[in-house]
Chain A
Amino acid sequence: MSEITSVERQRLMLFYRRRNAASWLAHLDTMHLFERALSRAAWPIAFSVEAYNPRPMIVFALPVGVGVETLSDPVEVVICDLDGTFDVKEAVSSLNDKLPPGVKIVGYEWVDGEHKSPMARVKAACYRLEAPGIGKAFSNVYDSGEPILVKRVQKKKEVTVDLRPRLLAVLRSDGDLLELIGGAGSTDHLRVDLLLDALYQYGGLDEEAALGARITRTRVFLDAVDDEKGIIVEMA
């Protein structure tokens, strides 16, 4: 592979939605899905030149769990536009034609080369959970102000985690709907499956309701948890 200078490489953040069948993919499968779609759409993606196995440079800001839908999750790609013919608007539209049902690019923005890696930029994520009685179950657990302790397996050892500090904001909690902002990324990451587990264990949420909940990650906050869209009503 020829040497490519950084001048010809540009970082592009894509925002994707995944729904229905596609939301049941594991993170690794989602990565493969993007690699293939970008290949089908013949995007000029830069390849890492490590060892004998060059990989296309595609980085997901935040892994998405099995059974979680997204509205606008960030994934960064490195474009290697040697002949300067890359038209991002056209390319996105052609990529959308090549993505499998349920997956769509809903937005994009060029990334300043000064920015940290997409994973390091993630600050928080906004979730919408839909399940019968979830609002009530949440206040049963949340309103007391006590720690919300759940067990999880980490490196083959069972550890207890307090979810409360990971809940940054509650946007809406009534009836069958719960919207909240949780910590995301390397520190204080909120796992919504564990939250549902807590709502089932301590909040009286029906087991089938917890399992059958519709989970949507509505937004991933990069660099800062801002209120530009006026959605933040309460910071924990």
Chain B
Amino acid sequence: MNRFDDPNVRAMLRAVQKPARYTGHELNAIDKSDTFFQLEDSARVHFALCFPDLYEIGMSNLAIQILYGILNEDEHTFCERVFASDFDMRQLLKEKNMPLTSLETGTALSDFDMVGISLHYEMAYTTMLEMLALGGVPLESSKRQEDDPIVVGGGPIACNLEPVADFFDFIVIGDGEEIILEIVGALKEKKKNKINRRAFLLSIADIPGVYIPSFYAIDYKENGHVERIRTLEEKAPEKLTKRLLRDINEAPMPQKPIVPNLEVVHDRMVMEVLRGCARGCRFCQAGFTYRPLRERSVETLLETADSLIEHTGYEEMGLLSLSTSDYSQLEPLVRKLLPKTEPRHINLSLPSLRLDSFDFDLAKEIAKTRRAGLTFAPEAGTQRLRDVINKNITEEEMMEAARTAFLNGWDRLKLYFMLGLPTETDDDVEGIVTLVRKFIAIWDNLPQDQRSKRLNVTVSAAFFIPKPFTPFQWSEQISVDAMREKQKQLADSLRDRRVSFSWHEYDSSVIEGVLSRGDRRLKEVLLDVWRSGAYLEAWHEHFDAALWYRALSKLPGGEAFYLKAREEQEYFPWDHLDLGVTKAFLWREWEKSQEGKTTTSCYDGCSACGNERYRTGVCPGSELGFGGSRA
């Protein structure tokens, strides 16, 4: 039956904001109900792909579209999407005692064979717990019965999911599209041969990229530090390696992505031009864990562009990556794309451009009609601190780029900075103000007839959060008091009618920091916070710091334990994972940062980070045959 024929369904949809979040059936969405359920149960895998946030956020995510496409290509697999309900719908589900269901067929989460959760930020953890609970899936893997779904997690933060490790049957480390069908294949075998959960987990334990948390025990010292991580099963590898997509051109990009009917955060076609980053900014987790940098070919991208234009109808196309201007074929690509996009009134958008390699002739051609804002991320106010974080960009480069941009009609400037970086002093904070003033001076010194009328500068400051698998994983994270002080110093000095200043919330920065470098002891904290009603906490209006501080106070050391600096020899909760970069390399980088020494990008030389062993991508070390020996 069509579920929209059901008056109860209509009544619920009529009672909530934006009901189209819950209806599915968008263009290019896949509904296999007519054929899939005819298959023998033992010959099919019903997969729930979950994103622990609202529809508008989840549907803006490329990973969801990629995995959805790959899974549904397989005729014995039916992948449906499940997103978090907003508060109003959640309330209705609870009142009516109804489960959280999938978009395509309205199936309860608990009725799926496998539940895959894509994790992109730590503040989604409590939402994830609520989704499992609403969907009728026992939260802890140890409590799940044979009939319950297998719950798998993955995504960019899967390099340390220890705080939520006990909620997953297994975790995927690395590129998901590389491994997902292998896992589904194993699950088909499980269903066919009617083997139990434990036997299934044992059968996948040695697949590279699979991490089964219940096969590892963590011993803690009295001071709360990890003493060691023990394997509990013979088949569980001592070191878990990431799964790496060696040939990115072999990996499909969605050619017919789902086109949401309601406005989502990123309402556009998306093409990933690069994966990984060659730069090595020392605060950036993705910059290290996605190494080596891999480029897609212009041919693949042009083919994809044709298909996207034909099958989506969007008026914007975004070229996505961690640093798009590093793409060696950017100019030829853009020159070949423009004849496809312009006649159809499609705007090209290039987020993540670095201004040191910004080509203004190219930019002008892209932005013939619309001058979008110009965004620079110097991250730090002084050259000294930029050297510490290895953001290899000089003031001269920035000023020259700004001057050219102003002369070409740009008048909106967005500047991103971080406060609380390692070794930061008051002078560095003051340096941000000086830098902003220099940008304004460049504008003021241009003849009025050569620039636009009014300059608009937005300065955004985030607080630095140390992340695993970065050289700064040893760093301390500053306290709320220190954050407040730095923010105030900046706000006081930045007063200018042309400058608007915004900053990240102190408390959520602290909690994100705790979870980022957290361990399994945080499970109880998470359960506590979730039971107190935390939900959709990535939305600042729904984040309640008091719940977290109260729960954390029950742990010895509280939040301060997780924020403090780490020792060189310290064993980290994520040390059984191997994301490609070696701990020795990261320590070398940490020491260099303390001396203010920079490191070249992979384009200019090899710093022997450990990824040479993959022998792929932009990686001079693999060509030289370092093979990781120096690491």
Contact = CB atoms under 8 A, between A and B. Distances in A.
B24 interface: yes
B10 A67 contact: yes
Interface string B27-42: 1010000000000000
Contact of B313 (A37, A101, A209, A214): A37
Nearest to A29: B262
Interface in A84-131: 98-102, 131
Contact of B13 (A39, A42, A67): A67
Interface string B1-35: 01011011111011100111001111101000000
Interface string A4-37: 0000000000000001111111101100110111
Nearest to A38: B313
A26 B25 contact: no
Contacts of B312: 36, 40
Contact of B261 (A19, A33, A40): A33
A53 interface: yes
B18 A213 contact: no
A212 interface: yes
B343 to A, nearest CB: 10
- The 9 A-B pairs at the shortest CB distance, nearest first, are namely A36-B313, A212-B7, A21-B25, A211-B11, A212-B11, A39-B313, A100-B27, A21-B23, A40-B313
Counting contact residues on chain B (CB < 8 A from A), the size range is 35 or more
Nearest to B8: A212
Interface string A30-69: 0011011111101000010000111010000000001100
A36 B259 contact: yes
B445 interface: no
Given A25-B262, A29-B261, A67-B19, A208 B13 contact: no
B10 A214 contact: yes
Interface string A145-189: 000000000000000000000000000000000000000000000
B263 interface: yes
B344 interface: yes
Interface in A194-219: 208-209, 211-214
Interface string B342-364: 00110000000000000000000
Contacts of A35: 313, 315
A76 to B, nearest CB: 19
A36 B313 CA distance: 4
24 contacts: A20-B23, A21-B4, A21-B25, A24-B23, A25-B262, A26-B18, A28-B263, A29-B262, A35-B313, A42-B344, A53-B369, A53-B370, A54-B369, A56-B345, A100-B27, A100-B261, A101-B26, A101-B27, A211-B10, A212-B8, A212-B10, A212-B14, A214-B5, A214-B10
B314 interface: yes
Contacts of B267: 32
B383 to A, nearest CB: 37
Contact of A40 (B25, B26, B263, B311): B311
- B5, B27, B310, most chain A CB atoms within 10 A: B27
Given A28-B263, A132-B7, A212-B10, 12 more contacts: A21-B4, A21-B25, A29-B261, A32-B267, A36-B259, A40-B313, A53-B370, A54-B345, A98-B313, A101-B27, A211-B15, A212-B8
Nearest to A47: B345
Given A212-B8, A214-B10, A101 B345 contact: no
B106 to A, nearest CB: 11
B14 A67 contact: yes
A223 B5 CA distance: 33
Contacts of A22: 25, 261
A227 to B, nearest CB: 31
A47 to B, nearest CB: 6
A209 B14 CA distance: 11
Contacts of A209: 7
A102 B18 CA distance: 18
A29 B20 contact: yes
Contact of A24 (B8, B19, B313, B369): B19
Interface in B367-413: 369-370
Contacts of A39: 313-315, 344
Contacts of A42: 344
Contacts of B263: 28-29, 32
Given A20-B25, A100-B27, A102-B25, A66 B19 contact: yes
A192 B14 CA distance: 13
B313 A211 contact: no
A101 B104 CA distance: 12
A102 B29 CA distance: 13
Contact of B262 (A26, A47, A214): A26
A22 B27 CA distance: 10
Interface string B59-93: 00000000000000000000000000000000000
A216 B597 CA distance: 69
Contacts of B344: 39, 42
B261 A131 contact: no
A196 to B, nearest CB: 9
A213 B382 CA distance: 63
Nearest to A130: B7
B28 to A, nearest CB: 8
B7 A20 contact: no
Nearest to A37: B313
A213 B315 contact: no
Nearest to A19: B4
A199 to B, nearest CB: 14
Contacts of A101: 25-27, 29
A109 to B, nearest CB: 24
B545 to A, nearest CB: 33
A214 B7 CA distance: 7
Interface in B503-542: none
Contacts of A24: 13, 19-20, 23
A132 B8 CA distance: 12
Contacts of B18: 26
A217 to B, nearest CB: 15
A213 to B, nearest CB: 7
**Interface core residue of B5, B11, B370 (most chain A CB under 10 Å):** B11
Contacts of B7: 131-132, 208-209, 212-214
A25 B261 contact: yes
Given A29-B263, A211-B11, A211-B15, A20 B20 contact: no
A27 B15 CA distance: 17
Interface string B300-313: 00000000001111
A100 B312 CA distance: 10
> Chain B CB within 10 Å — which of A19, A24, A52, A56 has the most?
A24
Contacts of A37: 27, 313
Contacts of B310: 40
B255 to A, nearest CB: 13
A132 B7 CA distance: 10
Nearest to A33: B261
A66 B310 CA distance: 28
A68 B9 CA distance: 14
A28 B14 CA distance: 17
Contacts of B10: 67, 211-214
B25 to A, nearest CB: 4
Contact of B314 (A36, A100, A102, A211): A36
Contacts of B261: 21-22, 25, 29, 33, 100
A53 B369 CA distance: 8
